[in-house]
């Protein structure tokens, strides 16, 4: 049996470089709300903290309401469809790494806070579904990382008899590592993604760190 038989993989900032599409869509959504978009650096810092689009907007715009946050989220998702097609690309070696992991006997689950109706088509477009046991995106009526209920309500039904020690969460943001902390699952920080060392240190020290996806093969050797 391989080390960590079940790998929970984040998508944005771990398998795919989606930052350009996200930042573009955020800026366009702010403009739709009649606001001057914050700088890419400011957007990127807040992006690295994870959270929903509504929470993102309310954190960025002091005094904004939940309704305004939801309107912002809707505008973002409208713009993201085109931005994703034009801007997103996989990190180097994703297909080769996932293929090697499957051949070693790992079961791969993409566990993302990306809007589920967006996640599925992205995985399809990049031909990643063939490597996966399952994939899960954000849905309005279901928990999302870092909530521990993601494990109990969404992941556990797929692997009811797998001990916690057999899971590894691989991701780039505090949402991923916070989920690991909340559930007792081992964590691997993708340092090349959308967060910073300072932001990660505010949550916890990950069990492992990779500076490129291919290093995951060494972690699991």
Confidence (pTM): 0.91
The tens digit of pLDDT for each residue in 61-112 reads: 999 999 999 999 999 999 999 999 999 999 999 999 999 999 999 999 999 9
142: its two tokens: 């279901």
CA distance 34 to 31: 5
What domains, with CATH codes, occur in the chain? 6-17+90-219 (3.40.50.1000), 19-87 (1.10.150)
Per-chain mean pLDDT for the chain = 94
Q: Is pLDDT of 32 > 70?
A: yes
Residue 50: per-residue pLDDT: 66
The tens digit of pLDDT for each residue in 116-140 reads: 999 999 999 999 999 999 999 999 8
CA-nearest of 119, 120, 121, 115 to 52 is 115
Pairing state between β 107-115 and 208-210:
unpaired
Q: E-assigned strands of the chain?
A: 6-9, 16-17, 89-90, 107-115, 134-138, 167-171, 186-190, 208-210
């Amino acid at each position: 049996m391989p080390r960590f038989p079940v790998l929970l993989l984040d998508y944005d900032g771990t398998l795919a470089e989606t930052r350009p599409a996200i930042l573009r869509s955020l800026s366009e959504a702010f403009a739709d709300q009649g606001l001057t978009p914050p700088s890419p650096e400011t957007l990127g810092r807040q992006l690295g903290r994870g959270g929903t689009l509504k929470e993102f907007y309310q954190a960025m715009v002091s005094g904004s309401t939940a309704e305004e946050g939801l309107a912002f989220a809707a505008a973002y998702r409208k713009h993201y469809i085109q931005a994703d097609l034009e801007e997103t690309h996989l990190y180097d070696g994703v297909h080769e790494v996932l293929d090697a992991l499957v051949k070693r006997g790992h079961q791969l689950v993409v566990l993302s806070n990306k809007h589920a109706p967006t996640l599925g088509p992205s995985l399809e477009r990049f031909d990643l579904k063939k490597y996966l046991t399952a994939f899960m995106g954000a849905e309005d009526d279901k928990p999302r990382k870092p909530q521990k209920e993601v494990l109990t309500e969404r992941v556990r039904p797929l692997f009811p008899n797998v001990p916690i020690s057999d899971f590894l969460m691989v991701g780039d943001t505090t949402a991923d590592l916070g989920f690991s902390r909340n559930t007792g699952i081992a964590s691997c920080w993708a340092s090349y993604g959308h967060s910073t060392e300072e932001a990660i240190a505010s949550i916890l020290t990950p069990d492992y760190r990779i500076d490129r996806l291919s290093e995951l093969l060494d972690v699991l050797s």
